[in-house]
Structure 1
Amino acid sequence: MNTQEVANKLVQLCREGKNEEAINELYHDRIVSREPQGAHMELTEGKKAVLDKTQQWLNSLEEIHSSTISDPVVGENFFSCVMDIDATYKKYGRMPMSEVCVYEVQDGKIVSDQFFYKTS
């Protein structure tokens, strides 16, 4: 798959709520995932660790009220999108959030992702 195809597939799977399937299918085994400085799990390396991070996030949720993901914007082997979620977290209560997500693709797999959002 080229970058546009990977981007379209990721967006499709995320819109269907299939985040773990997206990781399994589209992420490279040696993925490097970055959250904002000071965030929980600021740097995560490897597909299994990213799956574990995703599971921890899912377990922290009480309810998702709404979630959206924009169409991807592609440039060379990078793409970005905006994800918005309004969720109630077990620890923090209801908290809407918006993040910019940037992905790097090599040989048809996502090799890095980085998320930008307000942490406080």
Structure 2
Amino acid sequence: MTTQEVAEQLVNYCRQGQFAEAIQNLYGQNIISVEPDGAPVKETKGLDAVIAKGQQFNEMVEEIHDMQISDPIVADKFFSCTMKMDVTFKGAPRTSMHEVCVYKVEDGKIVREEFFFTPMQHG
């Protein structure tokens, strides 16, 4: 798959709330996932670890009220999109999250993802 095709498929999966399917079908075995400074885990390496990270996120969510994913912007072997999520986490007030997501594609698979947002303050 081309970077454009991977980007379009990822956005379609996300718009349908099929994050686990996106990871299973589009991510490489040696994926690196990077969160911003202040996030609970800065870097996750390997497909199994990224799958576990996604499951951990899902377990923290009480309800997703709304989610919007922009169309991807593709250049060379990279693409980006924005994600807005109106979500209630368990034991926390309803909040709005807005992030920029950047992906790198090699051999038809996502090999790196990096998220840019301001992490929630805890405590």
Alignment of 1:1-120 (within 5 A): 1-120=1-120
Pairwise CA distance, 1:91: 3.4
Pairwise CA distance, 1:73: 0.1
User: Is there any run of 5+ residues in structure 2 with no aligned partner, and where?
Assistant: none
Moved over 2 A (4+): none
Q: Which amino acid in the other structure matches residue 21 of structure 1? A: E
Provide the TM-score with structure 1 as the length reference: 0.98
Once residues 29 and 92 of structure 1 are traced to their aligned partners in structure 2, the CA distance between those partners, rounded to angstroms, is 34
Q: Which amino acid in the other structure matches residue 105 of structure 1? A: V
Q: Which amino acid in the other structure matches residue 94 of structure 1? A: R
Once residues 93 and 43 of structure 1 are traced to their aligned partners in structure 2, the CA distance between those partners, rounded to angstroms, is 27
Q: Which amino acid in the other structure matches residue 83 of structure 1? A: M
Aligned length: 120
Q: Say what the alpha-carbon RMSD is for the aligned residues.
A: 0.7
User: Is there any run of 5+ residues in structure 1 with no aligned partner, and where?
Assistant: none
1:83 counterpart SS class:
strand
Once residues 60 and 91 of structure 1 are traced to their aligned partners in structure 2, the CA distance between those partners, rounded to angstroms, is 9
> How many percent identity over aligned positions?
51
